[in-house]
């Protein structure tokens, strides 16, 4: 999730994806890992992922989605799945914080926060869908706003080529949870209930409060 504004009115769904996503998927992983394990761990991870050029300067524009896939894979290989999942979720929450601070207008946030949760859900999901190309790349995002809301990412770039016994798309889960807790309901919890890495057709996130 990255550079494009999250407009809550008049959002347009970009239909052409060219395999590029916002830089938060790289920047916030570095931040989350450094907070937990220090700068040496960040250097090691980015070298393993073949992204050492970002150690001098983090990206400021859209990045190739394959870089994000490699970074997530390297994170799991380097630290093991449980630790990697925790860092990825933290990175997602940091991305949510960035969107709230920089991309989602304050007046829109104020309106969402006083709407009934189900109406706020519909409004927020429309905005997320309109900007989905900035975080799913060549994947496909869809959402069902009925309670409990379910968000689906087909061909998630976070777990492409991976096989695991547990879900792996924690970066998305963390981002969605931060946005929903701040804008829809303070007790919102996001759980990835299906993941392509586990053999599911799509990655599905359920939100409950």
Per DSSP bridges, beta strands 203-208 and 150-154 are antiparallel
Expressed as residue numbers, the domain containing 150 is: 20-208
The pLDDT score that the predictor gives to residue 1 is 54
Q: Look at residue 13 and tell me if it is in a domain.
A: no
Rounded to whole angstroms, how far apart are CA atoms 133 and 96? 16
Beta strand extents in the chain (DSSP E only): 20-21, 63-64, 140-144, 150-154, 189-194, 203-208
Q: Look at residue 43 and tell me if it is in a domain.
A: yes
The pLDDT score that the predictor gives to residue 161 is 96
What is the sign of the dihedral through the CA atoms of 76, 81, 83 and 86?
A: positive
Give the chain's domain count: 1
Q: Look at residue 104 and tell me if it is in a domain.
A: yes
What tens digit of pLDDT does each residue of 71-109 get? Answer: 999 999 999 999 999 999 999 999 999 999 999 999 999
pTM for the complete prediction? 0.91
Q: Look at residue 91 and tell me if it is in a domain.
A: yes
Q: Look at residue 5 and tell me if it is in a domain.
A: no
Token digits of residue 106:
């304050």
Q: Look at residue 74 and tell me if it is in a domain.
A: yes
Q: Look at residue 53 and tell me if it is in a domain.
A: yes
What is the sign of the dihedral through the CA atoms of 123, 64, 173 and 39?
A: negative
Q: Is 114 exposed, middle or buried (0-12, 13-18, 19+ CB in 10 A)?
A: exposed
What tens digit of pLDDT does each residue of 19-54 get? Answer: 999 999 999 999 999 999 999 999 999 999 999 999
Give φ, ψ of 80 to 5 degrees.
Answer: 90, 155
Q: Look at residue 121 and tell me if it is in a domain.
A: yes
Name residue, tokens 């409950």: 208
The pLDDT score that the predictor gives to residue 18 is 67
DSSP-assigned states of every residue in 57-99: S---S-EEHHHHHHHHHHHHHHH-HHHHHHHHHHHHHHHHHHI
Q: What is the CATH number of the domain that holds 74?
A: 3.90.1520.10
pLDDT, mean of residues 144-173: 98
Q: Identify how many contiguous H helices and E strands the chain contains and give both numbers.
A: 8, 6
């Amino acid at each position: 999730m990255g550079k494009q504004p999250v407009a809550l009115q008049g959002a347009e769904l970009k239909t052409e994806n060219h395999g590029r996503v916002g830089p938060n998927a790289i920047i916030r992983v570095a931040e989350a890992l450094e907070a937990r394990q220090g700068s040496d761990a960040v250097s090691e991870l980015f070298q393993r992922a073949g992204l050492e050029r970002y150690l001098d300067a983090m990206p400021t524009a859209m990045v190739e989605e394959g870089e994000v896939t490699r970074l997530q894979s390297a994170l799991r290989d380097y630290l093991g799945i449980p630790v990697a999942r925790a860092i990825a979720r933290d990175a997602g929450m940091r991305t949510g914080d960035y969107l709230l601070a920089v991309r989602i207008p304050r007046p829109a946030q104020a309106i969402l926060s006083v709407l009934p949760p189900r109406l706020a859900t519909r409004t927020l999901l429309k905005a997320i869908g309109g900007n989905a190309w900035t975080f799913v790349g060549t994947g496909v995002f869809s959402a069902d706003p009925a309670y409990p809301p379910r968000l689906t990412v087909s061909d998630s770039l976070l777990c492409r080529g991976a096989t695991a016994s547990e879900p792996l798309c924690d970066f998305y889960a963390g981002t969605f949870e931060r946005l929903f807790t701040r804008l829809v309901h303070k007790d919102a919890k996001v759980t990835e209930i299906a993941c392509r890495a586990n053999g599911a057709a799509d990655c599905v996130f359920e939100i409950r409060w």
